[in-house]
Amino acid sequence: MTADPYRLPRTVTPRHYELAIAPDLTTCRFEVTTVLTVDVHEPVSQVVLNAVEIDVHSAVIRDSSGAEQSGSVSLDEELERMTVTFPITLATGEAILTIAATGTINDQLRGFYRSTYTNGDGEERVIATTQFESTDARRAFPCWDEPEFKATFAISLLVPEGLTGISNGAVIEERATEGGMWVTFDTTMVMSTYLVAFIVGPLVTTDPVDVDGVPLRVACVPGREGLAGFALEVGAHALRFLAEYFDIPYPAGKLDLIALPDFAFGAMENLGCVTFRETALLVDRDRSSRLELERVADVIAHEIAHMWFGDLVTMKWWNGIWLNEAFATFMEVTCADAFRPEWERWVSFSTERGVAMVTDGLATTRPVEYEVVSPEDAEGMFDVLTYQKGGAVLRMLETYLGAERFRAGIRLYLRRHRYGNTETTDLWDAIEEATGEPVRSIMDSWIFQGGHPIVSVDGGDGTITVSQRRFRYLADEHDTDSRWQIPLLVRSLDDPPGAHRRALLTDASSSIAVATAPVVVNAGGWGVFRTGYSPTLFTQLIADLSRLDAIERYNLVSDTWAAVLAGQAPISEFFDLVALLTDERDPSVWDAALDGVSLMYREVPPEQRPAFSSWVRDLLGPVFASVGWEQVPGESERLTKLRGSVLGALGTWGEDTPIQERARALHADVVAGRAPVAPDLLPALVTIVAWTGGEAEYELFWDRIRTASTPQEEVRYLFRLATFPDEGLLVRTLEATEGEIRTQNGAFVIAGALANRVAGRSAWAWLSEHWDDVMKRIPDNSHGRLLEGIVRLTDAESVRDVAAFLETHPLPSARMQVAQLLERQRVNASFAERERATLATRFAN
């Protein structure tokens, strides 16, 4: 036996699985027969593999001697293992192990689970589907459920009459049987168990689109197939773009993109059989905002990128999950950027990176990669530090090395390790080999320590001095020795566009020769660090913001706000900087500014709110006046997006009455089907109606949710139920998370309720009272998410109560996220405490 209880012994290992699965959608039971081709490496009499919550009825082996014997099975619930003990020692060599088992199609959104929806006739229909990452394949069939045990899979499904069956491979055979059809799918390439998928249900599929020989389809519940066009377009683009980027053909025979009514994650990269929540796949391009379309394009590209990076080349163990996800995130933006360059997807990714840097500026942040012993240890990895920070660090490396050289390294890595398993360092080694740069030592400094630096810049014409220390919102004098290898791209504003010099800051500080000030040390904006310019350099830099590109301006605003929030700069610096944004038309730069506006709105004393709102109107009114209500033919996509954000801000924090009235009138038009409204205005209109709404609007929202014709429309209303400024309505919303609201959406709604501007405390009281029920109902992986709203509960009593409660009610699956949210709550609370007097004076009526 192996010493590590989480790793299976390697005395017997799998080579091929033949799975025959017979689900019964009425009783929600299934039978599964697994015929395994295994290699017996040593003469043993026991075979140990993973299984949990399934009843194993028999296990029979025929070893290389030809002898066949039955084993006795024992299950270890805690380790999720089964041990088969045979009377006679097995001969080494190839053996065939046949295991028969039964199980339940559960309602836990993992393993083999059921998703339900109500059809047009008001009947509830069931879809049986799978979600196996990270370690839930063992809930459906006995297996070697570790990513390194790759094998091929030949799957057969018993599909009842009138239903559709889908799995990783294309259908190769259909055999009629009583009440249905045995459908056999093509054998997969060697892959890990977490990528296996099979689905049976009343699904419809679009006609296959031929993408250079790969049949591409979308599957969904009947009636929604009209929303598949955009997904097919994105999918075809991604397949071609990625095959070319990686210089390796798509590794499976076909690709199905499947929308499911109940899904715990955004999507799952099962080889050739990618599953999605409906909002991430089905969309009406004429009735959705740019942001909603971008999300669909992102998620599809992300999952298809995994077909190579994750499925073809896979991490050895769960510590590598971060690289899998970070790279797919990097690739999704690269691919979406090529799909619609006018979206400027890399510019808008700066906002997502900004969200990660907020968590990463905490004492309770974590290294991107850390040691993972049990698979549960890796559950904390599915967060912004993996996806957004990880993706941003890869973007930083790409920008520093140059896109071509970076890609050469990626191609080398995939070619070298295809069908295999890797450690993170294998990627750095390949890029290092392709470029001759010290990639491994640079990346180790970003991956194995938490946090990120602030680079202070001093000096001027001729030479600048740069120095690094860790950036932290809450000061800690003990942390002085963190060091990063920081790739700097330095440019003088007098340099021609695109010109910069590279420098690697490895010490505490260093000097860099520059031609003339002002200078930018994070040229192009892709360094994952904050920058603190000396007052002289800062003044020079902001003298003419048009000389900076959009991400550089984003960083200037975001870094200034971060310094204010950390108490490292006076709040006046933020006010002075945003006052210079009158000509700013990039929505991401405004996102950074509105981050500050939204927190201040909450912390300004109620008597001063009118003056604060008036300041918001002065700040944003001229911007909105210049973009106007109407979309101008041929205007840039970014301007269209900006219109929505500025409108939303004016109608809420700005309390702009004329805007609120017009927004409500336009919304009424939409509801009555009177006049078309530009889809990019819709999210803002719904936000404003909720902000100013009462009981009547609340009822209307429910009506819209129940009759929504697209998944986006449904969540647009659903997620804003929690923002109505009324305690009674808020409690009704919370209660609906125990009833009508699908568990996959419950966490978002509860998080929104905790952040409610008038009744957040009541939401907390409700949650603490219903704690056990809520945690049982909401999937484990969303426990951290549902608490996100606590960062807005900044009064001293709430800070104390929430911390005390969570101390006695720990959430094992969200331990790190809980600590981070509590610290963010303290960061906001100390900002409020520190700036209360300044804000009161500034906004005195």
Q: Could you give the residue numbers annotated as active site?
A: 303
User: Nearer Cβ to Zn ion, position 293 or 307?
Assistant: 307
* C-alpha closest to that of 527 among 566, 474, 484, 586: 484
Query: Can you tell me the distance from the alpha carbon of 680 to that of 611, in angstroms, rounded to the nearest whole number?
Result: 29
What SS3 string covers 424-440? HHHHHHHHHHHHCCCHH
Q: How far is the CB of 195 from Zn ion (least distance, A)?
A: 12
Handedness of CA 249, 251, 254, 260 (dihedral sign): negative
Nearest distance in Å: CB 304, Zn ion: 11
- Asked if 328 is part of the footprint of Zn ion (rule: CB under 5 A), the reply reads yes
3-state secondary structure at position 733 = helix
Nearer to Zn ion, 256 or 595 (CB): 256
Look-up of token digits 């819709």: 682
**Exposed (0-12), middle (13-18) or buried (19+): which is 152, by Cβ within 10 Å?**
middle
Paired with 489 in beta bridges are 502, 522
Ramachandran assignment for 568, one of left (phi > 0), alpha (psi -120 to 50 degrees), beta (any other)? alpha
Separation between Cα atoms, residue 581 and residue 579, nearest integer Å: 6
To which H or E segment does residue 200 belong?
strand 198-201
Of 742, 682, 683, residue with least CA distance to 750: 742
CB count in 10 Å sphere of residue 555:
26
CB 822 → Zn ion: shortest distance, Å?
Answer: 27
324, 397, 839 from 305: Cα distances, Å:
10, 19, 47
Nearest CB to Zn ion, comparing residues 325 and 437: 325
Least distance between Zn ion and beta carbon 269 (Å): 6
Q: What is the DSSP letter of 188?
A: P
Given the complex with Zn ion, which of 20 and 297 has the nearer CB atom? 297
Residue 387 C-beta: closest distance to Zn ion, Å? 8
Per CB under 5 A, contacts with Zn ion among 525-564 are: none
The tokens of 757 are what?
């501007």
Contacts with Zn ion by CB under 5 A: the residue count is 2
Smallest separation (angstroms) from Zn ion to the CB of 386: 9
Q: Which residue is nearest to Zn ion (CB)?
A: 328
- Name the residue nearer to Zn ion (CB basis): 302 or 470: 302
Beta carbon of residue 781, minimum distance to Zn ion (angstroms, whole number)? 13
What whole-number distance in Å separates Cα of residue 402 and Cα of residue 405?
6
Q: Which of 517, 385, 507, 386 is nearest to 458 (CA)?
A: 517
509 contacts: CB under 8 Å, gap ≥ 6:
465, 466, 467, 468
Residue with Cβ nearer Zn ion (311 or 713): 311
Cα distances (Å, whole numbers) of residue 637 to 362, 525, 586: 35, 21, 10
The residue (of 304 and 741) whose beta carbon lies closer to Zn ion is 304
274 vs 721, which CB is nearer to Zn ion?
274
Nearer to Zn ion, 262 or 325 (CB): 325
**Choices 164-172, 320-328, 710-718, 751-759; region in contact with Zn ion by CB under 5 A:** 320-328
Helices (H), 3-100: none
Contact yes or no for 344/550 (Cβ under 8 A): yes
DSSP label at 789?
G
Q: Compute the least distance from the CB of residue 334 to Zn ion, in Å.
A: 14
Least spacing, CB of residue 306 vs Zn ion, in Å: 6
Residues forming contacts to Zn ion in the complex (CB under 5 A) are: 325, 328
